[in-house]
Structure 1
């Protein structure tokens, strides 16, 4: 899959394409339906499919400080859409200048002059251009004027729940990993680099990987979770079925203040410092608790590890 960062990386001899546009944070089941539609349209037309997303999140530019919790990194987003058959992953820098484009200039300058779109596939709630004034009906009118087709796709839903990044963020924030997985089509993932913590876990017999996620990452509610654990890129080989009991919170038993994500990888004692890792959250085992003694905490950590093994045995 080709990856472009901005319009300057579009080849000068670039031909026509089928384009789908959106933030696509999470690449959830609703996004997958939209992307499948765009990929199918591209194949019918014998044209490449292009997915355009934005960085930073548009809300951070429109209203600084309002960046929503991020469900997927750009790298992860690219991996997921490639699996769905997208040919080109285009990251558009969302700047103040870009934000000020009128819907007409957005369609003519971006879609026609630069990307040469034959068809645009978007969700039926898609808006574009200055002050989000452009709508799908307006895009159809502009398409008729400039020579491209528009397919507005209804939002995917199930049991009266519309799949959206906002809904999934609320599930993650509540610690409802089953609902998040249902909407995403896979477990919610948090990535990050393993950094040095206070070393307390090893002293308790549970060496943990202290993970520093990127800014704005969607972190589940405080508690202890069963999760899959993997090392991204080159690093210790843990295999595809590595299990972890993951603590999210401030470690109240030790009067902690900083909120951390600490993963105890079951049946593996390897040096993970500096590694880029991923935690796929599967189920919340319990809330965060303050224990009266270290012995009580250790006993509960054993129970958490045992419950994690049982849970994955049931899922296999």
Structure 2
């Protein structure tokens, strides 16, 4: 649980002089999944055990977006959402460094000395087994242990976490692959919460309302990796006390409404623009235009299909809603 307001620094110059001593961890933390939470939790525990401050070092944008934009992954969360998710872990502070070509040239030694030791007075460094840092990712756990002996800090390695089948470790890469394939149920296991896409509701073609299924259409620049085309059971989340949905459903103060969610181009009507739209079950009274909402993906019901006419589509949509009710445990209206 969050113990006090989390400090956020966006450069080394913002770290208060004399800060520390501290327990430090480092990572991209995209999506702040369950593997990340294990490392962050161990960092908080180490700080408490040794009377230290806990700090997470992360980067924005993603290093690959700077070094190899063509290989940059689709983000699971924006920097703002990442900070929000980190704030729920109990970490005392986050140093979110701007990743630049200049920073990419720092040697592992320079990074550890100037960031972890000089700025943060690290006494404990907690990392996952795949940690890499410094120019060309030359630094690893072995490097950290060598520097620790010289610079006065200890290194704690957190073992990989895996799912029930133990086939692959939980990672942002795995979560993205599952989401891209539409396997949002398994992505939930990795993330520790249902995956969300956030955006502003805009006007669409209004065909859904004509068919009895009014949908909220999200802007095409929605935040969060969009799952593969198909129909999903999930939730539409309206803004809470801070004016937009929280990044984690456990911290939402707004409405969370059961919904059938469609991702795709609407091939029955020869659509070309890929959209995310959600029909809130049994509600035709909602005016959501202009609101920033989130859609939360629980389970994929079927792939996107092309239907021969509106009657066939309406029949399928009724079937989709029935399956959606079953998945979400929502009864039919009286």
Q: TM-score range by the shorter chain?
A: over 0.9
| 1:27 and 2:36 matched | no
Give the 3-state SS of the residue equivalent to 2:297 in structure 1: strand
Task: Answer yes or no: is the 8 Å Cα contact 2:127–2:157 preserved in 1.
Answer: yes
CA change 1:8–1:208 in 2 (3 A) is: farther
Partner residue of 1:279?
A: 295
Partner residue of 2:53?
A: 48
- 1:148-163 map, 5 Å: 148-158=153-163, 159-160=165-166, 161-163=168-170
| 1:183 and 2:193 matched | no
Task: Answer yes or no: is the 8 Å Cα contact 2:230–2:262 preserved in 1.
Answer: yes
Query: How much does 1:296 deviate?
Result: 1.4
Partner residue of 2:3?
A: none
Query: How much does 1:190 deviate?
Result: 1.2
Give the 3-state SS of the residue equivalent to 1:65 in structure 2: helix
Give ranges in structure 1 of 5+ residues lacking alignment.
Answer: none
Deviates more, 1:10-19 or 1:281-290: 10-19
The partner residue of 1:300 within 294, 297, 316 is 316
Query: C-alpha distance in 2, partners of 1:75/1:231?
Result: 18
Task: Answer yes or no: is the 8 Å Cα contact 1:230–1:238 preserved in 2.
Answer: no
| 1:252 and 2:267 matched | yes
Deviations 1:153-194 (A, max 9, x none): 221113222111111111111111111111111111111222
Query: How much does 1:3 deviate?
Result: 1.8
Partner residue of 1:234?
A: 243
Task: Answer yes or no: is the 8 Å Cα contact 2:199–2:222 preserved in 1.
Answer: no
The partner residue of 1:132 within 137, 150, 155 is 137
Give the TM-score of the pair, scaled to structure 2: 0.88
| 1:208 and 2:224 matched | no
Query: C-alpha distance in 2, partners of 1:312/1:216?
Result: 24
Give the 3-state SS of the residue equivalent to 2:71 in structure 1: coil
Partner residue of 2:249?
A: none
Task: Answer yes or no: is the 8 Å Cα contact 2:268–2:307 preserved in 1.
Answer: yes
RMSD: 2.1
Query: C-alpha distance in 1, partners of 2:207/2:312?
Result: 15
Query: C-alpha distance in 1, partners of 2:224/2:244?
Result: 23
Task: Answer yes or no: is the 8 Å Cα contact 2:34–2:170 preserved in 1.
Answer: yes
Query: C-alpha distance in 1, partners of 2:70/2:60?
Result: 15
| 1:95 and 2:100 matched | yes
Partner residue of 1:71?
A: 76
Query: How much does 1:240 deviate?
Result: 4.5
Query: How much does 1:278 deviate?
Result: 1.1
Deviates more, 1:89-98 or 1:225-234: 225-234
Give the 3-state SS of the residue equivalent to 1:162 in structure 2: coil
The partner residue of 2:200 within 188, 193, 196 is 193
Task: Answer yes or no: is the 8 Å Cα contact 2:238–2:255 preserved in 1.
Answer: no
Give the 3-state SS of the residue equivalent to 1:192 in structure 2: strand
| 1:58 and 2:67 matched | no
Task: Answer yes or no: is the 8 Å Cα contact 2:220–2:274 preserved in 1.
Answer: no
Task: Answer yes or no: is the 8 Å Cα contact 2:77–2:223 preserved in 1.
Answer: no
Task: Answer yes or no: is the 8 Å Cα contact 2:200–2:222 preserved in 1.
Answer: no
Give the TM-score of the pair, scaled to structure 1: 0.93
